[in-house]
Structure 1
């Protein structure tokens, strides 16, 4: 009984990030805080851009030990692009990659990115299949794999069949895309690996189960992300208003901090775990960039990327009678994590440069024609009317 209790305690600690497979938790505030400057001098920006190729080369997966990797990829939401970039990076390094996407190849969802760009994977030697993660064996036709990444399930009901199949099939390493949203709010941001999590969150149950089933496993907790191929509106929400000359309504005072990473940073972190399974084993990784941005700062950076001015209007959601979760794409609070474990354990480095990366996203936005389409902004108009800034002709 004592052994069983100790094992359960260890599994819980592993899932929360308090323990690694080889060591106990480090002191929570062992390293200095990152800089939260929203802008840099032209010289500093230029230096970062010149250094980026070298950094990316440093975190690319070495091709010495070729592996066969299965990516179980979601067919919706913002996480699908993670699997796409991860597959591209592994294929470029010479690994064999199969992407199993949930659902049917002929569904309307497959007409949108990143699925509409899967030819980039197949032309690089990758394989794409569709099916039900509850029956992986049928979907992959009996193929065997060294590594499995579940980038689909959010609870144990969805992920357990994949884990069980992987274990019975002799898979050596299991990786899981979790979420930084499982952390409990803290008075001392940023979140670091080992901070308290919401035990009721589905991702937490998955992390615990994987820790019980695999010796070589790792969980990655992303936040918000941008990058070519992403189909979840975040920066587009700002562009929609900026290009039409509309005010951008931001809840609170706009100084709330969040974290937005380019998806290439997320995929490079995952790739390093494949390269160094021993170092990654039994670890939790905050899969984020190493800089924060304020909500007002995000609006200004989007405006700069679009080459336009922006008017920011702050409001109290309760006073305006709106639900901030429906009216704004980010959490109305400080919500950001630090990638401490990835830097210390994997030697990972971030290449996200939000000001430059948003220019890439705006170019795609402008090319899509979305800025010329007719749109309604009913919630915005209600908010603006509540603070006395309703557009002409709008009454609430």
Structure 2
């Protein structure tokens, strides 16, 4: 198979490139050239936001295209239009954020989505950007378009910082503020499992929207943090704390305590999505212990410092704030 990845140097894009290479596919990555391409790929350079930024894609044909773009959907529209006659199938890595909020538990792919348009330019909110990107791909590819609506993504190469923060924090040892309840169910996808399913589905010609994420409760907050302790070999002491004193201290779920969201509307949106369609289509998710251990191995290879996307806020909790809550 001949695969073109629009992106391909970081996190999900890199996981897709590596999976495709392992299959023996011919992989071309198109990006701005600010990060190195995965070894074994063919590189084309261009800035999708610049005039004539797609010039390097003027020639050539591919079996599959995967696009990870997260900003103004007009950029996706231009790429899809350019490639529609020279590519058999187009996969857009979208997000479950496209559903209107509040998103009830067990919402499937037929749920209401935010208003957007494929031609939006400039600064576009994330949900509208992803929905507009979906519309842009469908506009040019129709039933040759696959919309992979991912949820929380973790694993090696993460450039958001959520799991890396927990690993580094637990590796430091000492008492750790562990946000409860311990059995709080989590729903997420390892980037490598997202990559494997995406390529299988694209090769099979699947189309339409899929919620690509594990089953709710694939692990729990306790399972995740226990895996961090085991992977790091730390002597850290997890101090499980009810949500109330954490919230009363002004600590922000999701950002200051990454991944964690107390039960309620937002938890239902992030960690309780319906995945019956994607499971029937072959999604397989590895154990949390493997995801955590592999992420720690990768993180140590970088000296403990994870890459940080410039368009996303830095996550994590100030040690002094943590200590104050633990002192109670």
TM over 0.5, yes or no?
yes
Alignment of 1:224-373 (within 5 A): 224-251=152-179, 253=181, 255-277=183-205, 280-281=206-207, 283-290=208-215, 292-308=218-234, 309-314=236-241, 315-316=243-244, 317-330=246-259, 332-333=261-262, 334=267, 335-336=270-271, 337-344=273-280, 346=281, 348-370=282-304
Matched position secondary structure for 1:229:
coil
1:145-196 CA-to-partner distances (Å, cap 9, x unmatched) read 23221112344233121122122x432211101012333344434x432233
Aligned residues: 292
Structure 2 unaligned regions, length at least 5: 117-126, 306-315
1:118 is the counterpart of 2:42:
no
1:96 is the counterpart of 2:26:
yes
Pick the structure with more strand per residue.
2
Which of the numbers 23, 36, 45 marks the counterpart of 1:130?
Answer: 45
Which of the numbers 145, 161, 165 marks the counterpart of 2:62?
Answer: 145
TM-score (norm 2): 0.77
Note the C-alpha offset of 1:218.
0.9
Q: Is the 8 A contact 1:322 1:379 kept in 2?
A: no
Q: Is the 8 A contact 2:47 2:53 kept in 1?
A: yes
Take 2:140 and 2:77, find their aligned partners in 1: how far apart are those partners? 10
Q: Is the 8 A contact 2:183 2:222 kept in 1?
A: yes
Pick the structure with more helix per residue.
1
Note the C-alpha offset of 1:340.
2.3
My pick for the range that moved more, 361-370 or 92-101, is 361-370
Structure 1 unaligned regions, length at least 5: 1-65, 372-376, 390-396
Take 2:297 and 2:92, find their aligned partners in 1: how far apart are those partners? 32
- In structure 2, the CA distance between the partners of 1:302 and 1:179, relative to structure 1 (3 Å rule), is same
1:44-68 CA-to-partner distances (Å, cap 9, x unmatched) read xxxxxxxxxxxxxxxxxxxxxx4x3
Matched position secondary structure for 2:148:
strand
Take 2:131 and 2:145, find their aligned partners in 1: how far apart are those partners? 14
1:283-326 CA-to-partner distances (Å, cap 9, x unmatched) read 21122233532223321221122233432353545421343343
- The structure having more radius of gyration, on CA atoms, is 1
